[in-house]
Amino acid sequence: MKHSLMAVALLGAFAAGTVQAQTAVQIYGTVDAGIIKRSGQTLNIGKRASNTLGFKGTEELGNGLKALFQLEMRYEPDTGTNEIGANGTQRPLFQGQSRVGLQGDFGMVRIGRGLTPLHETIGAFDPFHASPSPAGFWTDLSVAGYTSQPLDVAGYSNNRFSNAVWYNSPLQSGFQVNAAVATKENSGGPAVVGRGTAAAPQYPAGAEASANPFSITGTYNNGPAAFMAGYERNAIESKIWSIGASLAATPELKLMGTYSKQDQEHSRIANANTTAWVLGANYTMGPGKLLAGYGQKDVDGLQKVKQFSLGYEYSLSKRTYLYVDASRKKGTTAIPSTVNHYDVGVNHSF
């Protein structure tokens, strides 16, 4: 009997060890909640960063090859519901990303939905570390107000491709190439009038892309300096190119900047070009970090937006920090045209 029990125990341990050696799955996420006040709005509970719950894993296939996957959902911290878009639309379950692929000496190939290389790369040069908060610059000024998926359902995020294939090259002496191309599939989005009319829009509701969307970036990161250059074309053939740089001037001080230009000539009769630039800095003081940035966006002379933002983060641990932000944006087309934004909250990652 003892021998039988020992054999079963050894067999179980061997099986568990084999699974562990071949497959690794991680559950991760972020919980961010704060108190927010904006011009023209009442005090409300909201977020500074996206709240996420994700699952990612790898499986060793041998000879340096591995399979990988990542599923990431977004939710609202104050209600527990799926993330809500700008127009009140509830976004899909795995809004963040849903990709599967292979990785080896050739680099990494993935298929599904996720951030485009342009957005993923330029976010690293934002002084508010790619936070979607209005106090940050990534979702508006850093990318000149460009959207990667104009034919997706209204309210879905503007910085992802669905139905796409990604490739990331191996890192060589600090250099890397990142690319993605999407299909022309109908995504169920609203009509885009463009160069047409309300009765006969250039892209009717549910239209397919007129060209395959694609995105490509090149990055260099080796030592205190980092650089990026990127180009992207979306489903209605709007185009954008961006450059960015950062420098760790001292161990405490990091400087960064971006410049972007968007061309919407394919879907606009006039005023098709938008330019934007952002300069920022992060300064670390013990457990605290100061974030600062200033940027401008010029919509072909019709509209000039200016934004100045200050933020402070205080780390309570490696995974938890308190934050407070204040920003002022002038020249928006909304009413009021000058918007002040204030927030204070806590962010915890797991």
Q: Dump pLDDT digits (tens) for 292-334.
A: 999 999 999 888 999 999 999 999 999 999 999 999 999 877 7
Question: What pLDDT sits at residue 226?
Answer: 97
The amino acid sitting at 148 is: S
Q: Which two tokens stand for residue 192?
A: 């885009």
Q: What is the mean pLDDT of residues 82-110?
A: 90
Residue 157 CA to residue 189 CA, distance in Å, equals 12
Residue 319 CA to residue 141 CA, distance in Å, equals 28
Residue 11 falls inside a structural domain: no
Residue 293 falls inside a structural domain: yes
Q: Which residues contact 63 (CB under 8 A, 6 or more apart)?
A: 104
Of residues 69, 42, 39, the one with CA closest to residue 55: 69
Residue 6 falls inside a structural domain: no
Question: What pLDDT sits at residue 337?
Answer: 85
Q: Is the pLDDT of residue 8 over 70?
A: no
Residue 326 CA to residue 183 CA, distance in Å, equals 40
Q: Which two tokens stand for residue 92?
A: 């899909």
3-state class (DSSP) for residue 15: helix
Q: What is the mean pLDDT of residues 86-107?
A: 90
Residue 14 falls inside a structural domain: no
Question: What pLDDT sits at residue 266?
Answer: 96
Q: What is the mean pLDDT of residues 276-287?
A: 98
pLDDT, one tens digit per residue, over 119-178 is 999 999 999 999 989 999 998 999 999 999 999 888 788 899 999 999 999 999 999 999
Of the pLDDT bands very low, low, confident and very high (cuts 50, 70, 90), residue 22 is: low
102, 66 in Cβ contact below 8 A?
yes
Q: Quick one: what percent of the chain has pLDDT higher than 70?
A: 93
List the domain range (segments joined by +) for residue 284.
25-349
Residue 92 CA to residue 315 CA, distance in Å, equals 32
Residue 118 buriedness (CB in 10 A; 0-12 / 13-18 / 19+): buried
Residue 268 CA to residue 270 CA, distance in Å, equals 6
Q: Which two tokens stand for residue 331?
A: 């020249």
Distance of CA 8 to the CA centre of its chain: 48
Question: What pLDDT sits at residue 1?
Answer: 42
Of the pLDDT bands very low, low, confident and very high (cuts 50, 70, 90), residue 86 is: confident
Question: What pLDDT sits at residue 61?
Answer: 95
Residue 173 falls inside a structural domain: yes
Residue 339 CA to residue 134 CA, distance in Å, equals 10
3-state class (DSSP) for residue 133: coil
Residue 19 falls inside a structural domain: no
124, 130 in Cβ contact below 8 A?
yes
End-to-end CA distance of the chain: give it in Å, rounded: 44
Residue 10 falls inside a structural domain: no
Of the pLDDT bands very low, low, confident and very high (cuts 50, 70, 90), residue 187 is: confident
Residue 148 CA to residue 237 CA, distance in Å, equals 10
How many domains does the chain fold into? 1
Residue 133 CA to residue 141 CA, distance in Å, equals 12
Query: 109-113, 134-138, 199-203, 332-336 — which one is most confidently predicted on average?
Result: 109-113
CATH, residue 206: 2.40.160.10
Question: What pLDDT sits at residue 234?
Answer: 97
- pLDDT: is 248 or 4 the higher one? 248
Residue 114 buriedness (CB in 10 A; 0-12 / 13-18 / 19+): buried
Q: Is the pLDDT of residue 57 over 70?
A: yes
Would you give the DSSP letter of residue 124? G
Residue 20 falls inside a structural domain: no
Of residues 80, 62, 69, the one with CA closest to residue 26: 69
Looking at 73-82, 94-103, 259-268, 280-289, which range is the least confident one? 73-82
Q: What is the mean pLDDT of residues 30-56?
A: 94
Q: What does each C-alpha distance from 53 to 30, 35, 86, 93, 205 come to in angstroms?
A: 7, 22, 20, 10, 32
